């Protein structure tokens, strides 16, 4: 049996969709929220017994890989693709997978009402 946990993270970022026909072609920023869901069997011994992963360990990996690198940056300078919510969610998912986390879902909230989800 597998169990999942989800934790929310936040960062501030600016971006611009240069080829977009709407307002997002202009330089602007968001208070991003993203939710990371990790799954796996429960740990059966040690100080993390009964957990999928310690929330503190999850936070360290996510902060090191995403938040600390993207917070208060111009996102267009950090990636080579259009900085849509969909593309950024995919990038977060891929980067966290490379850390060894068993990530199964990432939802990136660009506004309080709009988000993109990537999942296995």
Active site positions, annotated: 24, 72, 110
| 86 within 8 A of 31, measured Cβ to Cβ | no
Torsion of CA 6, 8, 13, 19, to 10 degrees: 40
**Residues forming beta bridges with residue 32, ordered by sequence position:** 11
**Residues forming beta bridges with residue 11, ordered by sequence position:** 32
Residue 95: which H helix or E strand, with range? helix 85-98
């Amino acid at each position: 049996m597998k169990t999942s946990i989800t934790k929310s993270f936040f960062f501030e970022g600016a971006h611009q969709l240069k080829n977009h026909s709407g307002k997002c072609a202009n330089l602007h920023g968001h208070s991003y929220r993203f939710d990371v869901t990790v799954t796996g069997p429960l740990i059966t011994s040690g100080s993390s017994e009964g957990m999928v992963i310690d929330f503190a360990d999850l936070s360290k990996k996510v902060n090191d890989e995403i938040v600390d690198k993207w917070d208060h940056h111009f996102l267009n300078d950090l990636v080579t693709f259009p900085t849509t919510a969909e593309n950024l969610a995919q990038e977060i998912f891929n980067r966290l997978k490379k850390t060894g986390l068993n990530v199964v879902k990432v939802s990136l909230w660009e506004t309080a009402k709009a988000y993109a989800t990537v999942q296995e």
